[in-house]
Amino acid sequence: MYLVVISCDLAVRFLHLTFNMHSTTASQEVARFPLVSAEMPLLKKYLAVRQTSLRLCSPLSAEDHSLQPMPDASPAKWHLAHATWFFETFVLSEYMKDYRPFQAEFRNLFNSYYNAVGDRPLRALRHILSRPSLDEVRAYRDYIDEAMVYVLSDSPALEAVALVTLGINHEQQHQELILTDVKNGLWTNPLRPAYRATPEGQPGSPAQASPLKWRGFSGGVYTIGFEGGGFKFDNEGPRHDVYLEPYRLASRLTTHAEYLEFMRDGGYSRAELWLSDGWDTIRNNQWSAPLYWEQRDGEWWYYTIEGMKPLAMNEPVCHVSYYEADAFARWADARLATEFEWEAAADSCPVEGNLLETGALHPRAAESAGPLTQMFGDVWEWTASAYLPYPNFKPAAGAVGEYNGKFMCNQMVLRGGSCATPRSHIRASYRNFFPPHARWQFMGIRLANGN
């Protein structure tokens, strides 16, 4: 283990930050850090995002940090280390002169899927990494943050700035994964322990969801993909034109009450409603309800970030797979929107809603009866679109080119973000993707049909 050589003044200021980092908010830390100024917006954003990850882990015990209930999930400790690994591997190793790694073995230990970087442990076995300890992972984060403060305080090269920005957005993705993976791990425990108690003053959902209405959109040529300045992932472009037939979107997300109607009408036992792969999936896994639902004395309950609660009928149905979303839409004599229909509709919607910053960490019922609500936040919305490259898409050169492009197979696109997505991370052109059987993320349904 080595120390980065920086100025004495800088070291003192940074140690002041890291000493208090686990007990204060990101805004307090940034405000107390003298190096952060209006002329250093990237450093300010970096520190705030890094603090958010630790804050999301603050309710967890050391044992909670090691939970990996299934191969698709990862321990929180691994998320904290891997997000740090990204900055060390792609920024510090390339753009900090005489940089010496915190521990050389971490280059492979916390690699996720970057084949160009080197070997890595099997994803399904991340739970066996009892060493390094949680304290060592936190020390690793502090060490990397110290070096990153040095790099970002010294007019970094444009290439480094681009990689830091990518790393910040990468860590925000892992913040959502921390919450969803921990939720799945705690639910797997027969005691169904809560991630946290219900915060005082936290507003709940309204007593009733707004009535479902349909909003029509005219057919024609629409331009799809990221536009303007700022950050985007490579899979959001190139910008291109698509032709859409006239279509309609539901004014809000599908609710628990509406999904229960589907279940009571034999939705999970009617083969004609299901894609062949979906039918095999629900039978092989014995699914008869969304993930986290269970019956108690004839009544439905569901597991939330705050433990088990009676099912709230007005809230958006959540933790359903693409197969379930597709079957429900067919039962409702509707369909799922394509990702292009969704983006064309979302272009006119402000990026606001029940996102991470609300602190709810749970989907809420639609509060207004507007023409199109809940487009951002609450739950990721399954679309009918396979995750494929846009015309003329080319992944970036080098290892970072593996970020998105190599997953463009056997995945479906989701749009809109969830209650665990940071507001600064989501936009109309953002393309999330998961395999059609996945449902441990905050995934839900918005119906569509022809005009």
Q: Render pLDDT for 359-371 as a digit per residue (tens, 0 to 9).
A: 999 999 998 778 8
Percent of the chain with pLDDT over 70: 87
pLDDT of 208 strictly over 80: no
What pLDDT is stored for residue 115 in this prediction? 58
Superfamily of domain 214-450: paralog of FGE (formylglycine-generating enzyme) (3.90.1580.10)
Q: For the packed helices 8-20 and 134-152, what is the interaxial angle rounded to 10 degrees?
A: 140
| Domain chopping of the chain, boundaries | 8-188, 214-450
Return the residue matching tokens 């790393």: 167
Return the residue matching tokens 């395999």: 435
What pLDDT is stored for residue 12 in this prediction? 33
Q: Render pLDDT for 160-188 as a digit per residue (tens, 0 to 9).
A: 999 999 999 999 999 999 999 999 999 99
Q: CA–CA separation, 91 vs 260, rounded Å?
A: 49
pLDDT of 15 strictly over 70: no
Higher local confidence (pLDDT), 17 or 417: 417
Choose among 271, 268, 273, 265: nearest CA to 290.
268
Cβ contact 109:75 at 8 Å? no
Q: CA–CA separation, 414 vs 408, rounded Å?
A: 13
Q: Render pLDDT for 341-359 as a digit per residue (tens, 0 to 9).
A: 999 999 989 999 999 999 9
What pLDDT is stored for residue 109 in this prediction? 84
Most confident of 22-31, 47-56, 94-103, 399-408: 47-56
How much is the mean pLDDT over the chain?
A: 88
Q: CA–CA separation, 292 vs 304, rounded Å?
A: 8
What pLDDT is stored for residue 128 in this prediction? 80
How many of the other CB atoms lie within 10 Å of CB of 408? 16
Higher local confidence (pLDDT), 33 or 442: 442
CA dist 165 to 331, 392, 422, 425, Å? Answer: 43, 24, 15, 11
pLDDT of 18 strictly over 50: no
What pLDDT is stored for residue 30 in this prediction? 44
Query: Which amino acid belongs to residue 385?
Result: S
Higher local confidence (pLDDT), 445 or 110: 445
Q: With bands split at pLDDT 50, 70 and 90, how would you rate the model's confidence at 205? A: low
Q: Render pLDDT for 283-300 as a digit per residue (tens, 0 to 9).
A: 999 999 999 999 999 999
Q: State pTM to two decimals.
A: 0.89
What is the DSSP secondary structure assignment for residue 255, as one 8-state letter?
A: B
Q: CA–CA separation, 94 vs 113, rounded Å?
A: 19
What pLDDT is stored for residue 233 in this prediction? 92
What is the DSSP secondary structure assignment for residue 319, as one 8-state letter?
A: S
Q: How large is the average pLDDT for residues 404-431?
A: 93
What pLDDT is stored for residue 386 in this prediction? 97
